[in-house]
Structure 1
Amino acid sequence: MRKPQGRGLDLARKHVTSCLAELSSMLKSQEFLKSQSDITSQKGDESCTTASGCRPIGFDVSLNSRLLSPAPPRAVQILAWSDAIRYFEKLLHDLDIICALSLDPVLENVLHFIAQFQKSVPDLVPRAFLQTLLVQDGKLYGRDLFCDVISRALSLPDIIGDKEFQSNEFVVQLGQLVTNLLKILCTNTAWQRRKLGKSLQDWSTISIQLELALKREFGETRNVLADENMCMRVSKQLLVWSQEHTYWIASRFLILGFELDLYSPSEYCMVYWYMHVVFIKLIEKMQLRILASNENSRRKGKKKKDHSKDSVRDTPFPSSCLLLQCYVLLSEGLSMLLAALRKESKSFQSPSIFNTEQEVVQIVL
């Protein structure tokens, strides 16, 4: 799995399958293997600690004493036999999912894979291997430049490999932001949300800079024109693409707050309202990107007089866009429901540790 550009994934998957078969055999032979063990102090299949006199198998107890400064002895939990096997089974299953990755250079598919993979709460080892696979030598999978990944996302194959596009200041910054985003998404949930807050500021800043640069160069025109040049087209689509990912990061930031139980019941209404607004903006930018992509494909096969006639009609939107529309309705309904409950029955109102306005007035009087 450490081989560059994912060359060893097929062989690694065979090893993972073999290891899973060995673990299954060990679990079936649990009683026999325990009877042959020299360790007799641990009875049954219960977890214990090093304070009980049991020595952990496969772990050097003098490791900490060699690496860290002297410290008082501490009791370390030792997993039971079945718990240890289940732990390694989950670890190998997570590695198998990574090995089955198709190495798709489309960034949206990569982000979707990471989000789905993180739902299983993988351990540090699979997340580290995934990050190493995705970002190698400043390239996606160690083979695709991030500027080329961005150009594919813009559906403008003519600019792939273009030196002027690759050296553009905004493209370079966006490539670095994408690199950092992939690394952040491979971390644990708590660290991921902490870093996404900073990343959200960076993405929103560059989106504002792109919008100001577009207005300065081309004015207030935002609609797709039949006679616009390549520079204007690239600038508009780059702005829409950066704004779309800004709102995607914002939605991810809000959703992770639920996974970490960071919101109190009194904040649910406000959070769902934020999610409702973010999802609407995300759908808007996604649809603009899809329309621009379809317009680029029509430019090659149709005359200019047919562009405005067919630009919006019969435009197919992906299932992800339809799912976001469901999220919009769901978040709006939940926010309205919680607001009504809070107004009518005074639900979801927990006492605050701070003084209310009425208490402040009473204290002053």
Structure 2
Amino acid sequence: MAAVDVLDDGFGDNLDDPKKDSYDSTDTLQNQPPPDVQYNWVDVTTEFFEAVKGLELGELLHDDLFGLFEAMSAIEMMDPKMDAGMLCNRGSKSALTFDQAVQTGALKLQDITLPEQIGIIDSTLACLVSWLEGHSLAQTVFTNLYLHKPHLIEERAIKAFSICIFKIVDIIKEFVNRALVFEEEDFQLMVYGYRLVPDVSEQRTVGMLKEVEEDLHRRIRNKSTDPALVSEHEDTIALYSRIKFMRLLYQALSSLGRREPLGLGDCQRLLSSCTDLLQNMQKTVNRGVQPTTESDHPSIMGFDPLVNQRLLPPTFPRYTKIKSRAEALEYFEEFLNRLKIVCKITNYSSFHNALDFFIDFSRHGPCILSRSILQLLYLPQSNKVFGTLSFVDVLRDAAKNFIFPPALMPKSTLLNNPQAKEYVDTFLNHCVRPFGNLIQLCGHNRARQRDKLAHLLEDFATLQDEAERVDAYLHNLSLKSDTPRPHLACFGTWILYHTLKIMIMYLLSGFELELYSTHEYHYIFWYMYEFLYGWLVSALTRADNFLIEQEEIVVGHKGRGAKKNKAKKKKARPYGREITVYQALQNICGGLYKAMVGFRLDGKIKLPHPEFDNEQVRYEHRFAPFASLLTPPPMQYAEFRDMTSLVRYDQPPNSTALYLQGCQHFHKARTLLENINSPDQEVNDLLKVAKTNFVVLKLLAGGHKRDSANPPMFDFTSHCHFPIIKLL
């Protein structure tokens, strides 16, 4: 770097010269015309090193010809991590292939000791986990040389294990590829030319593992009383646990991957057995041979992190740090627990319940594999739920159960009209793609979900328009029938409900992903308080009332015998709990909004310089995805300013009044949440937010820390969307 030295390779000169375009392997350097420019090279090494002594570590000299762009380019070019091939050129040790390692004795094919076998298995599982976390197979699993030619391995346990790893990699690849909920940062499908032993069947793989299991089990039963063999006996148990774990895991994944819908009872049993075996694996994680030096990659026999380095594309490679063995086993424990939860999706025949299951599962940040399996269990085909139920019929039942539209009621005369039936069927068919995308969206990682929610709103805007037209047509048709019933806003309310939930999910994801600056909180909470939660409560209340009216009509047709429990039915509001939760959330948003305005009045929120930051631009950017919707109508920035301006009051409220108003909101939220029977974790978390913020705003209204210049802190640890306010 120090010497000004350029290697002239013949590609840098006269690029526009047509004579040089036809250069081929038959040309020689002597045939090329001499360069027009003669260079007089000067060695500046000594002068350069003297000059850089005036710079601090990490400091770069700025010059007219060496600005930020050139500096960053220089840093990138000189950093070995920016070129995958640079690692291969370091040091004298070269990566050995499978055959070379066997010839030099660096790789044993037989007589592998028990600790070595345990170490190889645990290190490979750590590589498998690292692959599932987004790294390439070439830098993780395939750094195990035993996987390069598994058929040549003579040690039965390692051979069976190696083939099983290939089969599991193949199954995982198929899951992720079919579900299509992965992004480039989630998962890498490329196998770099490795064949995943397609010639070995599932039955043969399981049979090989069982043979090794039985052999190890016989050795365990023949326990020797010799104290010197105690350690060997424990190693045998540890290896047995690992081989059996691999077999059961492979069988569980295979059963989940079959296209035909089979009962998941066997899968649950296999997963439970895997969990039991995993406990013994975690206890014996240190029995495997350990590397002699600390490294970010396995360095025991059979592993070479650079063996596939030349297979990587000539781009900036992601630095790969392989998980430790203990971390990998912990990952598998969490993965097995997630799979047990995923299998429960088959219990949710209702679309709304299934959608809530997907949203809740996604909230916990599951891995790409469990997300993919969940997608394939519910929608193995785009138009078939659980592979057997028509998605159109599932959505028809969802709309029917949500608001009971007269057109979907039993013995409805509306659908005797061919035109009306065609309208309803066409509308429900048009619902398949947006609702299918909503389910698929829940399978993506949280950051990507936000982008996809914005695009999904465009599809729901189209559905809203169609739902209103279908409702209007059915309403006019119903009024002319023998049993006239109102049909206005039935399908429209159903679509509006989901549209509002998507809008709220979009805004709340900004808190979860830490996209909002603190000075933006007030209009985010204001929008949810004034509009979204209010509209959502209104839509649910309308559906609630409509459901009860339709039930009363049905009961009336059944006669007096069905009227005995009429009083009880009136008390049981179908959406009572959901409405209460959303009313509480509306009040929490109202309390946070009032608190934010109070902080701004007190000068406790740091505002950006208006010359470099425009609130209107930020506002319009945050709510841009809502512009395509007609209902609810998007709230423009000018309207927001008019509605929130304090000068519209005869006596503009001060910060104390705003803190007190915020207290009232949090108190109301607390009251609503405390009235919910059998509260779940979400309700308890919201209750904690409401109670704590009530106390904080009460203190602020009383003048506590009024003179403090420290800004408040917003703590999202109790709830990822609604913070607890802390005074510093």
TM-score w.r.t. the length of structure 1 is 0.79
**CA offsets 1:252-278 (integer angstroms, 9 cap, x no match):** 111111111111101111111122221
Give, in angstroms, the shift of residue 81 of structure 1. 1.4
Indicate whether 1:49 and 2:296 are aligned. yes
For 1:1-365, what aligned pairs fall within 5 Å after superposition?
A: 1-4=256-259, 6-33=261-288, 37=289, 39-43=290-294, 48-50=295-297, 54=299, 69-70=313-314, 75-137=319-381, 138-153=383-398, 154-155=400-401, 156=408, 158=410, 164=421, 168-215=425-472, 218=475, 227-228=483-484, 233=487, 236-276=489-529, 277-302=531-556, 314=571, 316=573, 317-351=575-609, 354=612
**CA-to-aligned-CA distance 1:272-319 (integer Å, 9 cap, x gap):** 112222111111112222222222222221169x9xx99x96461332
Aligned Cα RMSD in Å? 3.7
**Pair 65,17 (structure 1): closer, same or farther in 2 beyond 3 Å:** farther
Question: Bigger shift: 2-11 or 328-337?
Answer: 2-11
CA distance in 2, matches of 1:111, 1:74: 35
1:75 Cα deviation after fit: 4.7
Note if contact 2:468-2:491 (Cα within 8 Å) is conserved in structure 1. Answer: no
Task: Specify the SS of the correspondent of 2:602.
Answer: helix
Q: Measured at CA, do residues 96 and 157 of structure 1 come closer, stay the same or move farther in structure 2, by a change above 3 Å?
A: farther
Residues 75-118 of structure 1, C-alpha deviations (whole Å, 9 max, x = no match): 52011111111111111111111113343221221121112212
Secondary structure of the 2:589 match is: helix
Determine if contact 1:243/1:285 at 8 Å carries over to the other structure: yes
- Residues 1:293 and 1:259: Cα distance change in structure 2 (over 3 Å): same
Contact 2:497–2:539 (Cα < 8 Å) also in 1: yes
Contact 1:135/1:142, CA 8 A, preserved across alignment: yes
Deviation at 1:62, TM superposition (A): 5.9
Answer whether contact 1:5 1:133 (CA < 8 A) is retained: no
3-state DSSP of counterpart to 2:450: helix
| Deviation digits for residues 205-241 of structure 1 (CA, Å, limit 9, x no counterpart) | 321332245446757x99xx99435xx63x6321110
Distance 1:65 1:218, change over 3 A: farther
Q: Deviation at 1:148?
A: 1.8
> For residues 313 and 101 of structure 1, do their structure 2 counterparts lie closer, same or farther at Cα, with a shift above 3 Å needed?
closer
Q: 2:410 & 2:306 partners in 1: Cα distance? A: 59
Task: State the AA in 2 paired with 1:97.
Answer: I
Taking a change above 3 Å as real, the CA distance of residues 213 and 75 of structure 1, as seen in their structure-2 partners, is: closer
Name the counterpart of 2:221: none
Check the 8 A contact 2:471/2:490 in 1, yes or no: no
* Residues 154-204 of structure 1 deviation map (CA, whole Å, 9 limit, x = unaligned): 2345389x8936973221111221111100111110111110111012112
Equivalent pair of 2:548/2:570 in contact (CA under 8 Å):
no
2:544 & 2:258 partners in 1: Cα distance?
36
Unpaired runs of at least 5, structure 2:
1-255, 402-407, 561-565, 616-728
After TM superposition, give the deviation of residue 19 of structure 1 in Å: 1.5
CA separation of 1:356 and 1:331: change in aligned 2, threshold 3 A: closer
Contact 1:94 1:122 in 2 (8 A): yes
Asked whether the equivalents of residues 380 and 386 of structure 2 are also in contact (C-alpha less than 8 Å), the reply is yes
Decide which structure has the larger Cα Rg and report it.
Answer: 2
Deviation of residue 326 (structure 1)?
0.7
Matched AA of 1:190: A
What SS class does the counterpart of residue 340 from structure 2 fall into?
Answer: helix
CA 272–41 in structure 1, closer or farther in 2 if over 3 Å, else same? same
Post-superposition shift, 1:27? 0.9
- Aligned 8 A contact 1:4 1:141 in 2: no
- The answer for unaligned runs of 5 or more in structure 1 is 358-365
Alpha-carbon separation, structure 2, partners of 1:57 and 1:119 = 39
Change (3 A) 1:212 1:300: closer
Matched to 1:347, the amino acid is I
Task: Say if 1:302 and 1:61 are closer, same or farther in 2 by CA, change over 3 A.
Answer: farther
How far 1:346 sits from its partner (Å)?
4.4
- Equivalent pair of 2:275/2:333 in contact (CA under 8 Å): yes
Higher helix share: 1
Query: How many Å separate the matches in 1 of 2:474 and 2:536?
Result: 26
Letter in 2 for 1:292: F
Does the CA-based 8 Å contact 2:375-2:440 persist in structure 1? yes
Q: Is the 8 A contact 1:2 1:8 kept in 2?
A: no
Counterpart AA for 2:344: A
Is this contact kept in 2: 1:56–1:78, CA < 8 A?
no
Higher RCO (CA-CA < 8 Å; seq separation 6+): 1
- How far off is 1:342 after superposition? 0.9
> Alignment partner of 1:190: what SS?
helix
Q: Which amino acid aligns with 2:354?
A: V
Quick check: 1:159–1:165 contact (8 Å CA) kept in 2? Answer: no
* CA 1:250–1:6: 2 relative to 1, 3 Å: farther
1:5 positional shift: 6.8
Residues 206-215 or 190-199, more deviating:
206-215
